[in-house]
Structure 1
Amino acid sequence: MDTHRNYENLDYAIGFGNHVETEALKGAVPKGQNSPQKCAYNLIAEQFSGTAFTLTRASNQKTWLYKIRPSAAHSPFVEAPEFGKYVKNDFMNDHGVTITPNQLRWKRLPLPEKPTTFAEGLVTVCGAGDPSIKQGIAIYLYAANKSMTNSSMFNSDGDFLIVPWEGEMLITTEMGKLTVKPREICVIPRGIKFSVEMNKPIRGYICEVFKGHFKIPDLGPIGANGLANPRDFLVPVAFYENTEEEFQIINKYLGKFYKCTKKGSPYDVVGWHGNYYPYKYNLDLFNAMGTVTFDHPDPSIFTVITCQTDEPGVAVCDFAIFPPRWMVAEHTFRPPYYHRNIMSEYMGNISGQYDAKEDGFQPGYGSLHSLFQGHGPDHESFEKWSNVDLQPIRYPYENLAFMFESTYMLKTCSFVMDDQVSLDHNYFHCWDKLAHNKLGDKP
């Protein structure tokens, strides 16, 4: 698991969606012209577009890369069946999926028994749609114990939102290097090459969106400040490798994996400028909103970033967190109330306890509650929070859970409905005692 790159004392640019300009050698980025006749240092100019050329200026995302070698210089891609054994992206048919409306919960994805890289350790849990039409979503778990050495991958199908819960990820991208540890997230937009190294085994969650990109939600009546602030998102700065070594390039394309070889490192970008890049965010910097009178607000107030469908206000994925915070509501059942809604909810736990299921939802666990399926606190949490003396309390720092919430009806992969990721067949029993609840006297 030893790394071969230095990830200490990294520098970052600041901002979300801003135009960033960075160079590892002074003068690598030309001034006044995107693609000059001859670039400095004999570099090659390459435009990298993350949106259609003809979008409005406000929506257009692209970056100019100044590279030692063009991305086109590699051997032909061939199928790579050693990758993607537990990856599925085509949810438009029912092959390889299990359709069930039941409430589902999974225990931790086991650590691999043999050396496994991030690219090899992906397991699709559920999803909807199809990347070939750029519509839909996929949710994964990952577990790895081996660094990607002289190996790089990129995803043609969608953006990866990575949520670690165990171990620090050391990520090299075409735009530079990032370190991402639990309580941080990272977004790697589609098409950007990256490698994951580690000093210890890593595990976590991923949400992939097949259309659009993540953005910070509008604040509406909250006003100018709150939730996630643009200044707290960190962007890598230019870093390059100038080597003659051969690299393996892995491409996830329409849910399958392909590989090719390339002379020299794909991380040969000496300078770049643009607004299409990977970024990371520390969840401890989230400014949570909540009631100071009564009632439990909707979880949308905890949205960190969102990817919207073509229908405004309806999300491919809202990424919401349930962070440490003060709870002061009066005359209120404080955990999430029992509910049914039109969204699919996949939840995960990064650390500590989740207040609605304090013993039954450990770090690394996941749950899926589909459209209109009732769910909420287990019996023990219901009894505790129905009878506790309501005083202002602060949820401890260790407690941090999250939710991928989507408008799509998610199908589960057949291989996660067996023991591959420890499906909890007894999950539904957490509400058994509540099924015998009796009508009581008026309080």
Structure 2
Amino acid sequence: MGDFGHFNTRVFHWMDARSKKSTRPEDPYNYLTGFGNEHQSEFIPGALPIGQNSPQICAYGLYAEQITGSSFAAPRSGSMRNFVYRRRPACVHGATTKIKTNTSVTAAFMNASGNIQNIPAQVSWSPFIIPDKADGAVDFVNGLHTLGGSGQPSVREGLAYHIFAINSSMQGKAFVNMDGDFLFVAQEGHLDITTEFGHIYLQPSEICVIQQGLRFKLEINEAKSPSGARGYIIETWGTKWELPELGPLGGYGLANSRDFLFPTADIDTRTTGAWNIISKQGGEYYNTSQNHTPFDVVAWHGNYIPYKYDLSKFVYHNTVSVDHTDPCINTVLTAKSRDPHAPLCDFLVFGPRWDVAEHTFRPPYFHRNCASEFLARIYGPEGTGGRSEVFSPGGASYEAGFTPHGNADERTVGAMHAKMKAMRVGENQLTFMLESCRSLLFTEWALKDCGVLVAEDIPESAWDLLPDRFGQNEEAIRLLKEMGRM
């Protein structure tokens, strides 16, 4: 085991924990299991109605409330909804007012402008800065920053990439994203996330999905994260995350459905006084206040529930004969687009695994993909894994669709002459990649105000390691002369 990253993130692999429960040792909560399942949970026995959803009088004086994540008439396979049983309905609140918006958050990516622009090259970011506590408290509401995106939530089409960098917990406030679903990737610090359905404890190299319209509160475990927390968010509009089809792999592999964890009901009975509910709609912030906790659900059932997944449980599949496998073999979750042949976004992971391909150039081949690629290191040493991964944990890199890229370092030359023996790759590191059919437009914050943009392209000198070997090959020159081409 090793320590990497600015705040000494401990490298973790699930099999090393030898745990007898489905969570890591630090996680204090209990969970339900199974991606796509119908789940139910009650904090007090008898709070959940049996055989119906909305009794004339609910047990213990609770109120029944439905939350739908899809159209009422959606086919059964796509229907997402739940019923919650709470002390006060969510509609019990004051007036909704627009408040000072976090100016580094946006949701409008329909056309390039002065505030958002294309990147027709490769770019990288050093680790995004976690604000110093001495400069003031920054919680999730103000610590969310948009990097780029495509489309717009009002037309239910597109996505956005964000980072969050915070040094304090949310106090007396909850957040709700009216625009789309949030997929959180924890990179630094331990997070205790309170949702209407219970708690989710999120550690580096775990991911969490909180769907559109669901309220949550983000708190930092101060003992585990004295300097703050940082991570990434993928926001999707008009589509839901799904497990990729396994095809010839059969019933198991990649991210197994049983490894996705869902919270259990846990009503908040400790907080009193006023609460602010901050909603993000069209990239703008709005506030409504209420004099009771929004986390007052005693029981619930349905399939529109937040969930988390430990990336170290991912089951890798790669070639055992020849040639490098396309990166889609590492897809954890996929979000579909209107084009059945091109996902809006695939979430991929690259961690420790074996490489045994024979007679093969083992690193990723040079390529120009129709998909855009966004990579970020969760933990691991610098300078490993290719041009797109030379940044430190907490940073990122991006290549737009059809941008030529590949490895440009000494390892590329070495791989051409390496002895073909089984070897471990990705040791002591974990990286995720987002592949999208969209080329993104990037914000002014990402290209200037973040202060950690490294470069708009790699230096030309890097390609000196890849000379024109064909032009120096004597046999090739002889044949060209015989063909009258020289």
Whole-angstrom CA distance in 2 between matches of 1:339 and 1:271: 51
TM-aligned CA distance change 1:359 to 1:212, over 3 Å:
closer
Instruction: State which of 202, 212, 225 in structure 1 corresponds to 2:252.
Output: 225
- Per-residue CA deviation, residues 206-250 of structure 1 (Å, 9 max, x unaligned), is 110011110101111211111011100000000111354211111
Residue equivalent to 2:433: 403
Residue equivalent to 1:129: 151
SS of 1:381's equivalent? helix
Residue equivalent to 2:47: 28
Residue equivalent to 1:4: none
Q: Please give the TM-score of this superposition, normalised by the length of structure 1.
A: 0.95
TM-align CA RMSD: 1.7
- Per-residue CA deviation, residues 300-328 of structure 1 (Å, 9 max, x unaligned), is 10000011012223211100011211110
Whole-angstrom CA distance in 2 between matches of 1:358 and 1:413: 20
Q: Where do 4+ consecutive residues of structure 1 move more than 6 Å?
A: none
Cα displacement (A) at 1:436: 4.2
In 2, are the aligned partners of 1:296 and 1:332 still within 8 Å (CA)? yes
Residue equivalent to 1:311: 339
Whole-angstrom CA distance in 2 between matches of 1:426 and 1:256: 29
- Per-residue CA deviation, residues 335-367 of structure 1 (Å, 9 max, x unaligned), is 211100111111111111542149722211211
SS of 1:428's equivalent? coil
Whole-angstrom CA distance in 2 between matches of 1:178 and 1:397: 28
Q: Which moved more, 1:350-359 or 1:53-62?
A: 350-359
Amino acid in the other structure paired with 1:318? D
Cα displacement (A) at 1:384: 2.9
Q: Does 1:138 align with 2:160?
A: yes
Structure exhibiting the larger radius of gyration computed from Cα positions: 2
Cα displacement (A) at 1:432: 3.2
Residue equivalent to 2:112: 94
In 1, are the aligned partners of 2:58 and 2:64 still within 8 Å (CA)? yes
SS of 1:432's equivalent? helix
Cα displacement (A) at 1:93: 2.7
TM-aligned CA distance change 1:427 to 1:409, over 3 Å:
closer
Cα displacement (A) at 1:253: 0.4
SS of 1:376's equivalent? coil
TM-aligned CA distance change 1:47 to 1:393, over 3 Å:
same
Instruction: State which of 53, 71, 75 in structure 2 corresponds to 1:56.
Output: 75
Residue equivalent to 2:308: 280
Q: Does 1:332 align with 2:351?
A: no
SS of 1:119's equivalent? helix
Amino acid in the other structure paired with 1:214? W
Q: Which moved more, 1:193-202 or 1:390-399?
A: 390-399
Instruction: State which of 189, 205, 212 in structure 2 corresponds to 1:190.
Output: 212
- Per-residue CA deviation, residues 247-280 of structure 1 (Å, 9 max, x unaligned), is 1111000111111111111000000000001100
Alignment: residue pair count: 436
TM-aligned CA distance change 1:426 to 1:54, over 3 Å:
closer
SS of 1:221's equivalent? helix
Residue equivalent to 2:92: 73
TM-aligned CA distance change 1:152 to 1:17, over 3 Å:
same
Residue equivalent to 1:85: 103
Amino acid in the other structure paired with 2:154? S
SS of 1:53's equivalent? coil
In 2, are the aligned partners of 1:125 and 1:416 still within 8 Å (CA)? yes
Structure 1: stretches of 5+ with no match in the other structure: 1-6
Whole-angstrom CA distance in 2 between matches of 1:399 and 1:244: 43
Q: Please give the TM-score of this superposition, normalised by the length of structure 2.
A: 0.87
Whole-angstrom CA distance in 2 between matches of 1:264 and 1:250: 15
Instruction: State which of 355, 372, 380 in structure 2 corresponds to 1:352.
Output: 380
Instruction: State which of 279, 285, 288 in structure 2 corresponds to 1:257.
Output: 285
Q: Does 1:45 align with 2:76?
A: no
Amino acid in the other structure paired with 1:300? C
In 2, are the aligned partners of 1:355 and 1:381 still within 8 Å (CA)? no
Instruction: State which of 433, 441, 448 in structure 2 corresponds to 1:418.
Output: 448
Residue equivalent to 2:243: 216
SS of 1:252's equivalent? strand
TM-aligned CA distance change 1:397 to 1:149, over 3 Å:
farther
Percent sequence identity is: 39
Amino acid in the other structure paired with 2:354? W
In 1, are the aligned partners of 2:375 and 2:389 still within 8 Å (CA)? no
Residue equivalent to 2:7: none
Instruction: State which of 384, 388, 400 in structure 2 corresponds to 1:370.
Output: 400
Q: Does 1:389 align with 2:419?
A: yes
